[in-house]
Amino acid sequence: MGLLTKDIQSKILSWLLINSTFPVNPPTQPVRMHLLTSNGTSTAAGTEVVGNSYEPETVSWILSGTPTEAVATNGAPVSFSSLDSENVITVVGIELWDSSTTPQRVAFASLDYPVSVGPGQSFTIATGQIKVKLI
């Protein structure tokens, strides 16, 4: 996985070094994976896939490793069942968002290479391939 957003980095550093409690508005579980057609930055969201029966996928996590990392434990496909024969979506990145009423973007990453998804196809990231690591 790429990077934590600047907002989340600030909250973590504030909690670790300044405050004894986590700041207001910690991320709300569950976290969802959003697919992008253009990537964002640490301060701005990318362009999310829209339409074609697309819905962000909930991601389950376990902690493992040294240094500690959170590893996605599910590899559910994201389906685009209503893509017609003329539509192709090119996925270039992912973002993780919480599920609060006003969702917060938690982390973002570019894919190693763009993936084109056509009619009747699904987009899947294999179990264990999404990792968020503190180094």
Asked whether 89 and 83 are in contact (CB, 8 A), the reply is yes
Report the C-alpha gap between 133 and 4 in whole angstroms: 9
Q: What is the mean pLDDT of residues 16-24?
A: 73
- Domain borders along the chain are 3-133
Residue ranges in 18-114 assigned as alpha helix (H): none
Instruction: Give the global pTM.
Output: 0.82
Report the C-alpha gap between 43 and 49 in whole angstroms: 19
Note the pLDDT tens digit of each residue in 21-59: 766 677 888 889 899 999 999 899 999 988 777 888 888
Name the residue with tokens 């179990």: 127
